Amino acid sequence: MMNDTIFTKQRLINLALIVVAIWFTHFAQVTFDPYTVRIINNVAIFIILAVSYNLINGVTGQFSLEPNGFVAIGAYVTAILIVDADTMLYQYDIADPSEWVLALQADFAWALLIAGCFTALVALALSFPVFRVRGDYLAIVTLGFGFIIKILAINNPQITNGSLGMNDIPEYSNLYWTGGIAIFTVLAILNIIYSKYGRAMKAVRDDEDAATAMGVNTFKIKTYAFTTSAFFEGVGGGLLAALLTSISPDLFTFFLTFQLLIIIVLGGLGSTTGAILGTIFVMAGLEWMRFLDEPMNIFGFETEGTPGMRMVVFSLILIIVMLFAREGLVGKKELFELKWFKKKKGGSK
């Protein structure tokens, strides 16, 4: 009876959080200024990327460094599908766009779906050689994949316009798109984590050999996590392209992967709640601290603006947080597993 009551309470709070998230998405879109809306859009996109990356790296325990490659694929596929042929002919300077590239056109919703599916297919093909190795070797292989995608983007100007990148991409991304898809991504990932597949992923993370001995098909589980993560990273890449309206190979360097790695480690590896909090802390926090780069008046003393000071302060904050919270802000726990959501036990013995 008590378990049923707790389960019902959690479902009600989950529903309330979803309603609040949907309300905030609409409220922010129609109320906040364009600069603030853009920051929230960026945070929402990175929530999609961080939560999906956490599925393979945190929940399944596979040290993969591939997000920049998958985000690049999603961004380029979406851009090719939503940029019209006349614009491509005008902006492709290194080489004329291929006929099939000019022929590909789709609405934004279909473009995001196609980008996600295509990225997932690439991940599926990549999983066969990638998961023949583990640990640091897996990190090296997936890191190389990101470099390969960047080189392919540069050396195929008839598809991607090479190092110049693609410009004049329609700015379709708004908070209804980014916020809505972020909410859907979080719900989808949480449903996977609490399903039998999620329990198998955690078993692989904790001890892959023991999971194999217990009858878990570890290759299947890792591939499932990898392709699911890639799908949402591809969709996130498409949203990013439609937000920035301009993409190039230099946008999808290892720094993007490193940024996502910081986010999920800071929040807590294996925690979706941690990935969300880490994204807000990193992406919104860095924007909020821009005042540190500007001249300030501190107790009557005028200081000159120091470019990069916010990064110094932010790095110090990261060091302090990781020293006192070794497993991140929330560890591996989710929202309702945190102690401030639990009732204190009391009563006479």
Per-residue model confidence as pLDDT tens digits over 291-311:
777 776 666 677 676 777 888
Residues 321-339: what's their mean pLDDT?
A: 75
Distance CA 120, CA 231 (A): 5
Residues 185-204: what's their mean pLDDT?
A: 92
What is the pLDDT, as a whole number, of residue 345? Answer: 47
Distance CA 163, CA 221 (A): 37
Classify residue 247 by its DSSP letter.
B
Mean pLDDT over all residues of the chain? 87
- Give the DSSP per-residue string, 91-156: H--SSPPPHHHHH----HHHHHHHHHHHHHHHHHHHHHHHTTS-HHHHHHHHHHHHHHHHHHHHH-
Classify residue 326 by its DSSP letter.
T
Nearest CA among 265, 282, 280 for reference residue 331: 265
- For residue range 117-173, list pLDDT tens digits in order: 999 999 999 999 999 888 888 999 999 998 999 999 999 999 999 888 898 899 998
What is the pLDDT, as a whole number, of residue 336? Answer: 59
- Phi, psi (degrees; rounded to nearest 5) at 110: -65, -35
pLDDT band at 341 (very low <50, low <70, confident <90, very high): low
Residue 6 scores a pLDDT above 60: no
Residue type at position 78: T
Retrieve residue 30's tokens.
């129609």
Distance CA 48, CA 221 (A): 21
Looking up tokens 């098909």 gives 217
Burial of 158 (0-12, 13-18, 19+ CB in 10 A): middle
What is the pLDDT, as a whole number, of residue 252? Answer: 92
Contact indicator for 41, 78 with CB cutoff of 8 Å: no
- Give the DSSP per-residue string, 29-71: HHHS-HHHHHHHHHHHHHHHHHHHHHIIIIIS------HHHHH
What is the pLDDT, as a whole number, of residue 121? Answer: 96
pLDDT band at 339 (very low <50, low <70, confident <90, very high): low
- For residue range 33-87, list pLDDT tens digits in order: 999 999 999 999 999 999 999 999 999 999 999 899 999 999 999 999 999 888 8
